[in-house]
């Protein structure tokens, strides 16, 4: 009875010691060891395992002075849960065996030492077998526990100093069951500890990753904020650059158009040779000057158009106009060129094409003019044809529409250049620029105008055989006459009235003889010669050229060099029937002068035409808002100016009667 009590006391001391050491080890790991490298962690476990083995031997149950019972091999059993290197298990076994020898060198101590070493070797063999056969973790640990406990009993029965029968019958059954139970208990405790440690480790890794991602996201956020600020700065710079560009182009337009106005007006006056004072050769010189000036004006307009398109400032001015009139204008412009080059030149409109269209007439005319100009320029023999035809639904245009086709037998365009030919400043070949001239802007502008109108330009060409450019406009951008039974729905009466009004204005316009001279009947202005105009301009060359040109057309012209001088003239009793007002003048601008004229007694209905060297749509709108009845861009065409003067004076007359 005393032996059983002593055994139980010793047993619980062993268990308590193991649990205490296990708890202390967990605390040490939790607060210190977890930061160590895996190699240092494994070294510490080896030391702790040997200390645990020595402690269990120190508090072992002594059957005699040399024979004792303890749980030293538990450290060998749980070692596979902690160590990575298998040889570490053998080191633990040797360490605990040497610890057993430290309690006395005798046969029992030697057997105990060899026992621990043998059990560690058995564990190594089971690990090798489980790896080869790919056992799961639980099966591996259960096999180790049962094998080590059974091996321990067999080793002591074979090599121990306790009589074999006494050990197997009286001691082994109890100690085997106890050690087996404790082995499983410690294995599950430690396994749970390891699982918790792994979960904690994974949680720390996950937390670290989240912190890293948070830092990265913060850095990205700062980078995005910085990028946003940089983009805002760049956007402001781009806006400023665009504003400076627009201002530069507006100023350059004014500076170029102002002297060009004098050149064109005087050249046109000389070309008309009203008094027959110039020889045919001198008239030819004037014609060349006038033609070259118009080419320069076209280049200026192209650059301004391209700038307005790029800046998104180009606005469409849709109106109703006659297809026949468009064909007539193209015939008048380009037939002389075709005749000089001895080319066949034909223009036709198919019978099913509407009489009237509703789109931006100016932009459409620019596109067609550019295509015809290029066709005539690059064609040396053969023909140039322009045709307007209907495109039925489901064809080139899903909703149907019209096709404006320009075909030539010129030099053609290589297949690999047909896409790039619509790029700004592009020439199909560097030699072409020298042979034919041009800036490469025309097709680029025409293409972008076509897109703005809601259509597109298609190209078919073969090098050396000619080209076919087709402008396609869909029905939603067009309006046809009410008499056309094939016209799409949506035609309104207002559009027809507008078209009729335009046609009537055209018919009422003064007719010119060949060479641009006025017809014999009546004056060229369509108003009596007694009417007087006030021309306000600070540029003396413009004043001279316009005064001479208008005087030649039968007008009396009074001039003023500033807005203040014009107000002084109008405040008196001067008889003025219409004012031609330049906009950009030093001191008082033309816009301010117009506003003040409208506030003067008796001058509220006085017709005013603004003459501006700026070419943007908003410049014209500003003139109208200031009180002008109309505006014209410099350089002006004298005949168009005379026609506009006649229209405005008649309108002013009608207002006066009302």
pLDDT (tens digit per residue) in 110-132: 888 888 888 889 989 998 998 89
Question: Do 577 and 558 meet the contact criterion of CB atoms below 8 Å apart?
Answer: no
CA angle 124, 129, 135 (to 5 degrees): 115
Judged by DSSP in three states, 278 sits in coil
Count of helix runs (H) and strand runs (E) in the chain: 19, 14
Q: How confident is the model at residue 578 (pLDDT cuts 50, 70, 90)?
A: very high
Give residue-wise pLDDT tens across range 267-302: 887 888 877 888 888 888 888 887 777 777 777 776
For position 515, what pLDDT does the model report?
A: 36
Name the CA dihedral angle for 43, 45, 49, 50, rounded to a multiple of 10 degrees: 20
When mean pLDDT is compared across 4-13, 188-197, 637-646, the lowest value belongs to 4-13
Once rounded to an integer, what is the mean pLDDT over residues 374-403?
A: 86
Any idea which of 94-98, 206-210, 572-576, 633-637 has the lowest mean pLDDT? 572-576
Using the Cα atoms of residue 110, residue 111, residue 115 and residue 118 in order, give the sign of their dihedral.
positive
- The 3-state DSSP class for residue 269 equals helix
- Straight-line distance from the first to the last Cα atom of the chain, in angstroms, rounded to the nearest whole number: 141
- Give the HSE-up count for residue 530: Cα atoms under 13 Å, Cβ half-sphere: 1
Instruction: Write a three-state SS string for 357-383.
Output: EEEEHHHHHHHHHHHHHHHHHCCCCCE
Considering the chain, what percentage of its residues have pLDDT values greater than 90?
10
Q: How far is CA 649 from the centre of its chain?
A: 52
| 596-600 own/partner pairs: CB under 8 Å, 24+ apart | 596/563, 596/567, 597/566, 597/567, 597/570, 597/627, 598/627, 600/567, 600/570, 600/571
Q: How far apart are CA 238 and CA 227, in angstroms?
A: 16
Q: Which residues contact 440 (CB under 8 A, 6 or more apart)?
A: 423, 424, 425, 426, 427, 433
Residue of 454, 467, 372, 383 whose CA lies nearest to 428: 467
pLDDT bin (cut points 50, 70, 90) of residue 426 is low
Contact 420, 406 (CB under 8 A): no
Q: What share of the chain is helix, strand, coil (3-state, %, to 5)?
A: 60, 10, 25
414 neighbors 432 (Cβ within 8 angstroms) = no
Give the DSSP per-residue string, 114-177. Answer: HHHHHHHHHHHHHHHHHHHHT--HHHHHHHHHHHHHHHHHHHHHHH-SS-HHHIIIIIHHHHHH
**What backbone torsions phi and psi does residue 206 show, to the nearest 5 degrees?**
-65, -40
Mean pLDDT of 34-51: 78
Residue with the two structure tokens 């596109």? 367
Q: What is the pTM of this model?
A: 0.47
User: Which pLDDT score is estimated for 621?
Assistant: 81
Q: Which range, 190-204, 276-290, 308-322, 424-438, is most confident? A: 276-290
Q: What is the mean pLDDT of the chain?
A: 78
Give pLDDT tens digits for 443-456.
Answer: 878 888 888 888 88
Most confident by average pLDDT, 55-64, 349-358, 476-485, 495-504? 349-358
Q: Read off the tokens for 438.
A: 């041009």
Cα–Cα dist 123/94, whole Å: 13
Phi/psi at 456 (5° precision): -160, 165
The per-residue pLDDT for 501 is: 43
> d(Cα 365, Cα 464) in Å, to the nearest integer?
28
pLDDT above 80: residue 146: yes
| Distant-in-sequence, close-in-space partners of 474: CB < 8 Å, separation ≥ 6 | 397, 399, 400, 401, 454, 455
Q: What are phi and psi of 498, to 5 degrees?
A: -65, -45
269 is written with which tokens?
Answer: 């006056």
| Radius of gyration, CA atoms only, the chain | 53
- Residue 539: pLDDT band with limits 50, 70, 90: confident
3-state DSSP assignment of residue 606? coil
- Distance separating alpha carbons of residues 90 and 308, to the nearest angstrom: 88
List C-alpha distances in Å: 426 to 212, 303, 379, 407, 433: 52, 14, 19, 21, 10
Asked whether the predicted pLDDT for residue 347 surpasses 90, the reply is: yes
DSSP notation for 607-627: -EEEEES---HHHHHHHHHHT
At 490, the pLDDT band (50, 70, 90 cuts) reads very low
Dist CA 572 CA 125 (whole Å): 126
DSSP 380-410: SSSEEEEEEEEE-TTSSSTT-EEEEEEEE-S
**Token digits for 416?**
């690999």
Strand 318-322 and strand 356-360: pairing?
Answer: antiparallel
Q: Report the alpha-carbon distance of residue 511 to residue 48 in Å, rounded.
A: 119
Least confident window among 13-22, 64-73, 257-266, 504-513:
504-513
Contact in structure between 527 and 650 (CB atoms under 8 Å): yes
Task: Read off φ and ψ for residue 80, nearest 5 degrees.
Answer: -60, -20
Q: In this predicted structure, what is the pLDDT of residue 1?
A: 41
* Residue-wise pLDDT tens digits, 295-342: 777 777 767 766 666 666 667 778 888 888 989 989 988 999 999 999
């Amino acid at each position: 009875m005393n032996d059983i009590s002593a055994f139980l006391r010793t047993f619980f001391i062993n268990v308590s010691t193991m649990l205490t050491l296990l708890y202390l080890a967990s605390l040490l790991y939790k607060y210190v060891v977890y930061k160590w490298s895996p190699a240092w962690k494994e070294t510490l476990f080896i030391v702790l395992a040997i200390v645990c083995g020595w402690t269990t031997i120190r508090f072992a149950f002594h059957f005699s002075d040399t024979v004792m019972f303890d749980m030293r091999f538990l450290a060998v059993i749980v070692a596979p849960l902690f160590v990575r290197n298998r040889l570490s298990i053998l080191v633990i076994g040797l360490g605990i065996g040497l610890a057993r020898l430290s309690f006395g060198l005798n046969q029992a101590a030697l057997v105990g030492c060899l026992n621990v070493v043998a059990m560690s070797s058995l564990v190594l063999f089971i690990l090798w077998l489980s790896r080869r056969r790919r056992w799961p973790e639980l099966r591996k640990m259960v096999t180790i526990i049962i094998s080590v406990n059974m091996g321990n009993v067999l080793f002591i029965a074979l090599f121990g100093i306790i009589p074999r029968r006494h050990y197997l019958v009286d001691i082994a059954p109890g100690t085997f069951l106890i050690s087996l139970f404790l082995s499983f208990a410690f294995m599950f405790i430690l396994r749970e500890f390891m699982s918790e440690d792994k979960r904690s480790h994974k949680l720390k890794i996950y937390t670290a990753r989240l912190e890293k991602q948070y830092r990265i996201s913060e850095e990205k956020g700062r980078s995005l904020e910085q990028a946003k600020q940089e983009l805002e700065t760049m956007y402001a710079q781009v806006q400023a650059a665009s504003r400076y560009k627009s201002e530069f182009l507006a100023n350059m337009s004014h500076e170029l158009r102002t002297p060009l106005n004098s050149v064109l007006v005087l050249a046109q006056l000389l070309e008309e040779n009203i008094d027959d004072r110039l020889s045919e050769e001198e008239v030819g010189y004037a014609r060349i000057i006038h033609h070259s000036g118009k080419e320069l004006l076209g280049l200026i307009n192209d650059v301004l158009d391209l700038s307005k398109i790029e800046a998104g400032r180009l606005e469409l001015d849709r109106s109703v106009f006659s297809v026949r009139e468009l064909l007539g204008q193209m015939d008048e412009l380009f037939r002389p060129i075709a005749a000089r080059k001895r080319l066949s030149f034909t223009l036709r409109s198919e019978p099913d094409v509407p009489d009237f269209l509703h789109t931006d007439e100016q932009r459409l005319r620019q596109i067609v003019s550019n295509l015809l100009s290029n066709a005539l320029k690059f064609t040396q023999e053969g023909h140039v044809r322009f045709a307007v035809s209907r495109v039925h639904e489901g064809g080139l245009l899903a909703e149907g529409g019209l096709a404006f086709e320009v075909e030539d037998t010129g030099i053609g365009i290589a297949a690999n250049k047909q896409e790039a030919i619509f790029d700004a400043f592009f020439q199909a070949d560097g030699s072409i620029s020298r042979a034919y001239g041009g800036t490469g802007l025309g097709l680029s502008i025409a293409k972008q105008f076509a897109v703005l109108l809601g259509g597109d330009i298609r190209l078919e060409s073969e090098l050396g055989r000619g080209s076919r450019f087709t402008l396609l406009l869909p029905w939603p951008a067009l309006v046809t006459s009410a008499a056309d039974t094939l016209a799409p729905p949506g035609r309104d009466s207002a559009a027809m009235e507008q078209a009729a009004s335009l046609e009537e204005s055209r018919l009422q316009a003064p007719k010119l003889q060949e060479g641009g001279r006025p017809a014999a009947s009546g004056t060229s202005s369509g108003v009596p010669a007694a009417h007087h105009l006030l021309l306000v301009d600070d540029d003396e060359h413009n004043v001279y050229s316009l005064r001479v040109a208008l005087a030649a057309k039968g007008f009396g012209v009074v001039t003023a060099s500033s807005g203040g001088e014009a107000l002084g003239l109008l405040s008196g009793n001067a008889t003025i029937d219409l004012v031609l007002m330049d906009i950009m003048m030093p001191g008082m601008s033309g816009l301010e002068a117009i506003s003040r004229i409208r506030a003067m007694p008796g001058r509220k209905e006085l017709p005013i035409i603004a003459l501006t060297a700026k070419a943007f749509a908003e410049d014209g709108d500003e003139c109208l808002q200031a009180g002008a009845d109309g505006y014209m861009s410099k350089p002006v065409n004298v005949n168009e100016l005379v026609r506009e003067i006649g229209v405005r004076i008649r309108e002013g007359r009608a207002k006066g009667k009302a």
